[in-house]
Amino acid sequence: YLINKLKDEKIEKEELKKIQQQQQQCKDYTLMLLLLYCYYS
């Protein structure tokens, strides 16, 4: 039981990491678009 619980927590942490990375990429992308927009306008 305990081992399963730990495994679940580890998996959750991995998922969280992935999600955070995706959000970071999204932010970077938006920033880039904003910069381009400012640059060209």
DSSP calls for 1-41: -HHHHHHHHHHHHHHHHHHHHHHHHHHHHHHHHHHHHHHH-
Give the total number of structural domains in the chain.
1
For residue 24, tell me if it sits in a domain. Answer: yes
For residue 7, tell me if it sits in a domain. Answer: no
Give the count of beta carbons closer than 10 Å to the beta carbon of residue 5.
9
Low-confidence stretches of the chain (pLDDT beneath 70)? 1
User: For position 14, what pLDDT does the model report?
Assistant: 92
User: For position 6, what pLDDT does the model report?
Assistant: 76
The Cα–Cα gap between 8 and 25 comes to: 26
List CB contacts of 8: < 8 A, sequence separation 6 or more: none
For residue 29, tell me if it sits in a domain. Answer: yes
Range of the domain at 34: 13-40
For residue 6, tell me if it sits in a domain. Answer: no
User: For position 1, what pLDDT does the model report?
Assistant: 66
